[in-house]
A and B are shown apart, each in its own frame.
Chain A
Amino acid sequence: MAAEDEVHLRNRLGRLKALGLLRGARISGELSRLQKQLERISEASDEEIWQHVELARHDDRPYTLDYVERLFDDFIELHGDRSRAEDPAMITGLARFAGRTVAFMGHQKGRDVHERARRNFGMSYPEGYKKAMRVMDLAERHRFPIISLVDTPGAYPGVAAEQHGQGGAIARSQALMSRLTVPITACIIGEGGSGGAIATALADRVLMQENAMYTVISPEGCAAILWRDAGEKVKAAAALKPDASSCLRLGVIDAVVPEPPEGAHGNWKEAARLLGEALQSSLEDLEGVPGAELRRRRRAKFRQLGVFAASTESTGLSTAATPARK
């Protein structure tokens, strides 16, 4: 379908360009609009973006603990938020990684029905974020760098989760991350689902695996609200642009971590090796930076995210104020 559209658009574009002597504003507007549409088609089709979503959620994709097993030595899992509960949807702990002690946190989905139920499909309660915050505090005190792996459809939308303060927990987890003076590296390894993901992703380096997704709302949820039909999820995904290259282009992530040619689900060992390399080089890059400077840069990085314009109302002209980083 995309190919057919492309031919059609190219034809129209060709005809419009031939009208050179009529160079009116309206036509040049039309020209740039068509050019934009063409660029979008050659960027990635709706179906291609949807494939990213399916890969990011692939049942055989390695989960947090699969990477922990392959990348870390001496992993000691830490449990409980010290006030209310243990949330198995969030894994935290200490480990040896590339010759140093690191503090670790990551969402954990389940592999089979039983584990999925136990781990709540990787959707944390506030207790999960509070457990992560406890380990962040520990890392700050002992100067351990932090590694955070993100793989969650979102924070759990349940009655108890609300009563225990889901929104506040996500806000406070981010606030704590913005205060830390130890290096933080986060990587989106599957689904980076909205508030549940950003709660542990306010990092100095935000990495993202090639076939992962990072989005403000699930394509299904977006389709249900804006298209009033959850079945339009493919269109919604294409509009949201949750894929790694879009996130990189928008300046939301710092680097894309390659996956083996068959995808992470096809070769866990190689996927882990590539992820390990990326994490190690991030840790090494951040190591020499003084804590206060690290924190200042981290905040400045998130402070500048967003695209807007300052309009001059009288003329209707607009100038881009902070364009997204290239």
Chain B
Amino acid sequence: MAEHIDVSIEHRNLPEPATNSKPHPNTCPGCGSHYRADELAEHLWVCPQCNHHFPVGARDRIKQLADEGTFVEEAADLRSEDPLDFFDLRPYQERLAEAELRSGLGDAIVIGRATLERVECELSVMDFQFMGGSMGSVVGEKFARACESAAERQVPVVSVTSSGGARMQEGILSLMQLPKTVCAVEDLKDAGGALISVMAHPTTAGVIASFASLGDVVVAEPGALLAFTGPRVVQQTTREKLPDDFGLAESNMRFGHLDGIIGRRDLRPYLGRVLRLFSHNGHGR
């Protein structure tokens, strides 16, 4: 309880509060509206005023997409090892433990079987909160297992990506997750399976340069940054003037890299339609 609330107008002449402090996560960066968490959750984490798409964690995303009670998680027990004994300003082990505590996830991806609008599929959903959604050995392995599980059951994979790229702390092994996930997608396709790729904000670097780009159908959420190299690094290395929509979903759509930009409220019905088109003729070769 505050003992004293000062409502005097003398504060007018005080210096502006520091502007470098981070805005509240529930304040819309698009229009400045502020929401309670439950309000945002009810609107699927989309701003009802300006349609800004807030980031969604893996668990919430699965709740939004899977039919209630149908999601069965797979490979939940996989954890990153620290193959390089990586130590920057802090040990990698410590960063992992902290990320697990904060996000409640074992790594930056959750996979499992589910039905979406009553169509059987495999879900593979990334979570940006876990070390920037970076792809290390566990993300690569779980995505590959999702493909294998889908191929075995002859169902499509629905993949939702949100990642800053490969996980530097696993060094060259994180780069190897690119060919690893690519090979997994090719095995899935050879088995007659389909990959539906949904790119959420941000899908960059190692993830856009591997499985996320290989969907039979590739769509993105509005305003998502989809780039191999992000705007800051491009600016710094080339000193080029960047277009306002650099790397955004809308720009990617214009240049022919996407099949559609699907708002989050329409995502589930859209995916349902796509899945039904892929499943009507059965899957085999």
| A, B from the same assembly | yes
Decide if A158 touches B238 in the complex (CB within 8 Å).
yes
Decide if B183 touches A172 in the complex (CB within 8 Å).
no
When distances are taken between beta carbons in the complex, the residues of chain B under 8 Å from A312 are 77
Instruction: State how many residues of chain A have any CB contact under 8 Å with chain B.
Output: 65
Q: State A38–B173 Cα separation when bound (angstroms).
A: 23
Decide if B81 touches A309 in the complex (CB within 8 Å).
yes
Binds B, one of A7-15, A61-69, A215-223: A215-223
Contact of A226 among B89, B166, B175, B178 (CB under 8 A): B89
When distances are taken between beta carbons in the complex, the residues of chain B under 8 Å from A306 are 136-138, 140-141, 173, 176-177, 180
Is A138 close to B, CB under 8 A? Answer: no
Decide if A162 touches B79 in the complex (CB within 8 Å).
no
Is A165 close to B, CB under 8 A? Answer: yes
Decide if B186 touches A179 in the complex (CB within 8 Å).
yes
Decide if A157 touches B229 in the complex (CB within 8 Å).
yes
When distances are taken between beta carbons in the complex, the residues of chain A under 8 Å from B229 are 155, 157, 161-162, 166
Output the least CB separation between A41 and chain B (Å): 12
Decide if A178 touches B179 in the complex (CB within 8 Å).
yes
Known contacts A167-B209, A175-B186, A198-B178; decide if A241 and B79 are in contact (CB<8 Å). Answer: no
Decide if A195 touches B83 in the complex (CB within 8 Å).
no
Q: State A40–B87 Cα separation when bound (angstroms).
A: 12
Decide if B228 touches A162 in the complex (CB within 8 Å).
yes
When distances are taken between beta carbons in the complex, the residues of chain A under 8 Å from B141 are 306, 308, 322
Interface residues of B in 138-187 (CB under 8 A from A): 138, 140-141, 144, 166, 168, 170-180, 182-187
Decide if A166 touches B85 in the complex (CB within 8 Å).
no
Decide if A310 touches B78 in the complex (CB within 8 Å).
yes
When distances are taken between beta carbons in the complex, the residues of chain A under 8 Å from B270 are none
Output the least CB separation between B148 and chain A (Å): 9
Decide if A174 touches B182 in the complex (CB within 8 Å).
yes
Query: Per-residue CB proximity of A21-59 to B under 8 Å, as 1/0?
Result: 000000000000000100010000000000000000000
Known contacts A195-B178, A216-B171; decide if A175 and B83 are in contact (CB<8 Å). Answer: no
Output the least CB separation between B205 and chain A (Å): 7
Is A313 close to B, CB under 8 A? Answer: yes
When distances are taken between beta carbons in the complex, the residues of chain A under 8 Å from B84 are 239-241
Is A18 close to B, CB under 8 A? Answer: no
Decide if A242 touches B209 in the complex (CB within 8 Å).
no
Residue of B nearest to A298 (CB): B183
When distances are taken between beta carbons in the complex, the residues of chain B under 8 Å from A298 are 183
Query: Per-residue CB proximity of A165-189 to B under 8 Å, as 1/0?
Result: 1111011101100110000000000
Is A311 close to B, CB under 8 A? Answer: yes
Is A91 close to B, CB under 8 A? Answer: no
Interface residues of A in 205-219 (CB under 8 A from B): 214-217
Decide if B85 touches A36 in the complex (CB within 8 Å).
yes
Known contacts A175-B214, A239-B87, A250-B83; decide if A303 and B237 are in contact (CB<8 Å). Answer: no
Residue of B nearest to A170 (CB): B209
Residue of B nearest to A307 (CB): B83
Q: State A227–B87 Cα separation when bound (angstroms).
A: 10
Output the least CB separation between A252 and chain B (Å): 5
Q: State A303–B186 Cα separation when bound (angstroms).
A: 11
Interface residues of A in 240-299 (CB under 8 A from B): 240-242, 246-247, 250, 252, 298-299
Is A117 close to B, CB under 8 A? Answer: no
Decide if B257 touches A165 in the complex (CB within 8 Å).
yes
Q: State A216–B205 Cα separation when bound (angstroms).
A: 10
Output the least CB separation between A185 and chain B (Å): 15
Decide if B81 touches A202 in the complex (CB within 8 Å).
no
When distances are taken between beta carbons in the complex, the residues of chain B under 8 Å from A225 are 168
Decide if B211 touches A252 in the complex (CB within 8 Å).
no
Interface residues of B in 63-93 (CB under 8 A from A): 77-81, 83-89
When distances are taken between beta carbons in the complex, the residues of chain A under 8 Å from B213 are 167-168, 171-172
Is A96 close to B, CB under 8 A? Answer: no
When distances are taken between beta carbons in the complex, the residues of chain A under 8 Å from B80 are 308-309
Q: What are 14 A-B residue pairs whose CB atoms fall within 8 Å in the complex?
A: A159-B246, A161-B228, A163-B251, A164-B255, A167-B208, A170-B228, A171-B212, A197-B175, A199-B209, A214-B175, A221-B233, A240-B168, A305-B137, A305-B140
> Which 7 residue pairs across A and B have the least CB separation, nearest first?
A306-B137, A167-B208, A157-B229, A167-B228, A171-B213, A226-B88, A166-B228
Extra inter-chain contacts (9) besides given A162-B228, A306-B140, A318-B79, CB under 8 Å: A168-B257, A195-B209, A216-B168, A226-B88, A239-B88, A246-B172, A299-B183, A305-B180, A309-B80
